[in-house]
């Protein structure tokens, strides 16, 4: 694969640049997928294969850090990836770069880089930069001319409309992505196979009031066709499928397998530029406990690595009652045991779990947590991650961070912070 390059004294434009084709955890900025790039004196703009802006950074002296960058999500959010000075970001999140989000979330780390003038110059004016490049390029190669015309056609308004189309297909915005989506840098295609959840916990900010319901096979095929059209040429840059919404594991096993298999074929993940397809979904304590063994047998045989994230929240009854989660500690313990069993039995399935954190929770919440992740797991393991999710939004707390580090140190399972992120 060769890239087309155009240079003059002000710009360098490179079309169809081959980025990394596998997601890896690495401490320098690696760009994934095939993309096109415009480099000016003071900015770098990168575009996907639909000529939509996807990443950018400033090159001016005010830019916070040369190794940090902005990424625009399919939901049209600009996210700033920071190193956090590399201090503790990897230990806390399992990733070398920290996503700083433009909306309130539960992160204990990071600052407010999106409010920095050098960053706002890009998020607010990238389109002016692009238009200026197009106006200044003197007789570019026809391929470059065509690229610039198509990139300019993707105005901020059009990108907003495309995000809205995605929300329409998904029956609403994906308000929370599974923490395991970090393994594909949150580049997931959302295929909603069910709505709502079975608990309606009091503490939860993302729940819907509607009862749990499932999509039909016809609806799923229609969504897949619409997603394929929306992602267009850039589909090859994806290998992650998210079966939404909050408890896809509660859908019939046959429907889960149908959706995963149909999407794999329609999106042609086998021939995607990004290698190693992954399947993500959320599950609940009840849906995990009742899931039949054949579902896991079949999932393990698919061409995906499957990650199922279960909201356990607490193994302490007082805490469960306080947050209004209508389950018992006995159910939580059985779900935890089943999680260990599946993680041990199937090499291509990982069940992960979420627990809450807050400095107002009963002490027993933490002692019971350790009785699971330390006492019930005889040796340290590298599979079956535990995500600790601070309850409060926009309230970074040193004491909660300190507590997290303590729990992580004592846990025998990989333990990370869960930063709530939307698509
Ligand atoms: S935490 Fe999960 S199960 Fe509880 S209300 Fe929210 S989405 Fe539903």
Vertex 129 angle, CA 125 and 130, to 5°: 115
Strand order in the sheet with 12-18: 4-7, 12-18, 34-39, 43-47, 53-58, 69-72, 78-82, 98-100
Q: Mean of the per-residue pLDDT values for the chain?
A: 95
Identify which of 106, 174, 204 to mutate to test ligand 1's pocket (most ligand atoms within 8 A of the CB).
204
Residue-level pLDDT at 110: 79
Ligand 1 pocket check for 389: Cβ under 6 Å:
no
According to DSSP, the β-strands at 278-283 and 240-244 are parallel
| Nearest CA-CA partner of 352 in 281, 423, 302 | 281
Ordered by start, the domain boundaries in the chain are 4-159, 170-417
Identify which of 179, 202, 206 to mutate to test ligand 1's pocket (most ligand atoms within 8 A of the CB).
206
Average pLDDT over residues 232-237: 98
Ligand 1 pocket check for 199: Cβ under 6 Å:
yes
The per-residue pLDDT for range 148-185, each reduced to its tens digit, is: 999 999 999 999 999 999 999 999 999 999 999 999 99
Answer for the pair 361, 319: CB distance below 8 angstroms, yes or no: yes
Which parts of 292-385 are beta strand (E)?
305-313, 349-357
The per-residue pLDDT for range 372-398, each reduced to its tens digit, is: 999 999 999 999 999 999 998 887 788
> Cα of 320 to ligand 1 centre, how many Å?
12
Q: Helix, strand or coil for residue 49?
A: coil
The per-residue pLDDT for range 187-229, each reduced to its tens digit, is: 999 999 999 999 999 999 888 888 999 999 999 999 999 999 9
The per-residue pLDDT for range 270-286, each reduced to its tens digit, is: 999 999 999 999 999 99
DSSP 269: G
Question: Measured between alpha carbons, how far is 180 from 188 in angstroms, rounded to an integer?
Answer: 11
For the domain spanning 170-417, the CATH number is 3.80.30.20
Residue-level pLDDT at 287: 98
The per-residue pLDDT for range 53-86, each reduced to its tens digit, is: 999 999 999 999 999 999 999 999 999 999 876 5
At 414, the pLDDT band (50, 70, 90 cuts) reads very high
Ligand 1 pocket check for 204: Cβ under 6 Å:
yes
Ligand 1 pocket check for 201: Cβ under 6 Å:
yes
Ligand 1 pocket check for 311: Cβ under 6 Å:
yes
At 49, the pLDDT band (50, 70, 90 cuts) reads very high
> Is it the case that residue 294 has pLDDT exceeding 70?
yes
> Cα of 311 to ligand 1 centre, how many Å?
8
- Find how far residue 43's CA is from the centre of its chain: 26
Residue-level pLDDT at 107: 84
In this structure, the residue with its CA closest to atom 3 of ligand 1 is 199
Question: Measured between alpha carbons, how far is 343 from 412 in angstroms, rounded to an integer?
Answer: 14
Which parts of 201-270 are beta strand (E)?
213-214, 240-244
| Nearest CA-CA partner of 287 in 259, 249, 325 | 249
Question: Measured between alpha carbons, how far is 421 from 101 in angstroms, rounded to an integer?
Answer: 8
* Tokens read off for 70: 């902005």
CA dihedral of residues 152, 157, 161, 163 (deg, nearest 10): 80
């Amino acid at each position: 694969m060769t890239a087309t390059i155009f240079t003059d004294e002000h710009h360098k434009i490179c079309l169809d640049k081959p980025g990394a084709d596998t997601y890896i955890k690495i401490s320098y900025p690696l760009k994934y997928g095939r993309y096109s790039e415009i480099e000016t004196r003071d900015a770098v703009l990168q575009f996907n294969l639909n000529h939509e802006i996807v990443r950018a950074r400033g090159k001016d002296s005010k830019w916070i850090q040369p190794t940090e960058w902005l990424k625009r999500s399919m939901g049209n959010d600009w996210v700033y990836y920071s190193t956090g000075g590399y201090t503790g970001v990897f230990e806390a999140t399992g990733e070398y770069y920290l996503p700083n989000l433009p909306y309130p979330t539960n992160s204990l780390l990071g600052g407010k880089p999106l409010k920095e003038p050098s960053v706002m110059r890009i998020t607010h004016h990238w389109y002016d930069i692009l238009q200026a490049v197009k106006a200044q390029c003197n007789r570019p190669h026809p391929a470059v001319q065509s690229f610039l015309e198509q990139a300019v056609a993707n105005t901020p308004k059009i990108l907003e409309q495309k995000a809205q189309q995605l929300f329409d297909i998904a029956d609403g915005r994906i308000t929370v992505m599974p923490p395991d989506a970090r393994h594909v840098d949150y580049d997931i295609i959302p295929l909603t196979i069910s709505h709502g959840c079975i608990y309606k916990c009091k503490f939860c900010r993302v729940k819907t009031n509607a009862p749990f319901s499932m999509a039909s096979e016809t609806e799923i095929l229609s969504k897949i066709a619409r997603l394929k059209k929306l992602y267009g040429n850039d589909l090859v840059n994806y290998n992650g499928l998210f079966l939404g919404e909050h408890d896809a594991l509660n859908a019939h096993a046959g429907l889960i397998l149908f959706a995963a298999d149909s999407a794999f074929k329609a999106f042609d993940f086998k021939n995607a530029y990004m290698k190693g397809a992954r399947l993500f979904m959320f599950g609940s304590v009840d849906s995990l406990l009742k899931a039949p063994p054949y579902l896991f047998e079949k999932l393990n045989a698919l061409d995906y690595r499957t990650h199922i994230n279960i909201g356990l929240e607490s193994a302490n009854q007082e805490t469960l009652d306080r947050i209004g989660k209508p389950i018992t500690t006995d159910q939580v313990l059985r779900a935890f045991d089943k999680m260990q069993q599946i993680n041990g039995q199937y090499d291509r399935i990982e069940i992960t779990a979420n627990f809450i954190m807050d400095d107002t929770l009963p002490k027993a919440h933490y002692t019971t947590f350790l009785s699971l992740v330390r006492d019930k797991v005889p040796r340290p393991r590298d599979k079956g991650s535990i995500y600790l999710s601070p309850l409060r939004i926009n309230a970074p707390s040193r004491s909660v961070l300190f507590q997290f580090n303590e729990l992580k140190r004592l846990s025998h399972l990989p333990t990370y912070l869960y930063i709530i992120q939307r698509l």
